[in-house]
Amino acid sequence: MNQFYIITNTIKDPELVVTNTIVEYLRQNGRNCTYCAEGGRTPSPKHRYTNPDSIPEGTECIIVLGGDGTLILSATDTIDRQIPLLGINLGTLGYLAEIDRTSIIDALDHLIADDYKIEHRMVLNGTVFREDQEIISDVALNDIVIRKDETQGMITVKNYVNDAYLNSYKADGIIISTPTGSTGYSLSVGGPIISPRAEMILMTPLAAHALNTRSIVLPGDETISVVIGPGRDNTTEHAAAYYDGDTKISMLTGDRIEIRRADQEALFVKINDDSFLETLSRKMSSF
């Protein structure tokens, strides 16, 4: 690789010490490297963390400094560019950002020597409809969560797979996740862990008010629709869809969200030869 772009979470690297170290090392080794001039988060209707138009043409790798949250938002913002990302973890626990502060130079040497692999990760696309009119469509690398908007309490959700009715229940909400997202929010509420190499969609209820309600694992080519039911006494319910815990789309009774596999995949640079299970075991043992 010869041309790099750095996205920095300036909360984790406020003085850009790590950022400048990487830039200088790559330039000393004859590589081109620029970094996000706005210093990280720049929310807009078109992107959540990084403006993909600011990434120079010819960029072969995006280096993301921060943690898994920074990496996830950067991946979805830049997904149309299809440039592989390398995550450098400047926080605590990280499943996606495999490189830490102590192994930065070694990782850069691997990139310079073209000694790496590209890992493909499934991404979800969620489109919200109101009276059959599309409100918004966005993507999520981890999950799309539908739950009651702001106030506590349960909502009624009706779930369909490929337009066929599956089930309905009252719950705090429902999580629709990728295999990547199976180690996130879904795991914390009892969902199973799925290898990121799998092509599946995971449905996990949030505190469903029903017996024997468990996660459901579906093939990756299925389309899931979640319809918001009425509130108590047939009132209008207020809910919301959250994409990767960031973008929030308000929903009302009768609204539906259609979730399917996105056309594009997220690309990640993998330096280490550790398997997913080895990484999972190491991260879990840190608790």
Cα separation of 224 and 158, whole Å?
11
**Structural contact between residues 240 and 146, judged by C-beta atoms closer than 8 angstroms:** yes
The residue annotated as part of the active site, out of 13, 53, 68, 149, is 68
Q: SS in 3 state form for the chain?
A: CCEEEEEECCCCCCCCHHHHHHHHHHHHCCCEEEECCCCCCCCCCCCCCCCHHHCCCCCCEEEEEECHHHHHHHHHHCHHHCCCEEEEECCCCCCCCCECHHHHHHHHHHHHCCCCEEEEECCEEEEEEECCEEEEEEEECCEEEEEECCCCCCEEEEEEECCEEEEEEEECEEEEECCHHHHCHHHHCCCCCCCCCCCEEEEEEECCCCCCCCCEEEECCCCEEEEECCCHHHCCCEEEEEECCCEEEEEECCCEEEEEECCCCEEEEECCCCCHHHHHHHHHCCC
Residue 80 contacts by C-beta under 8 Å, 6 or more apart in sequence?
A: 52, 264
Active site residue 68: yes
Catalytic residues: 68
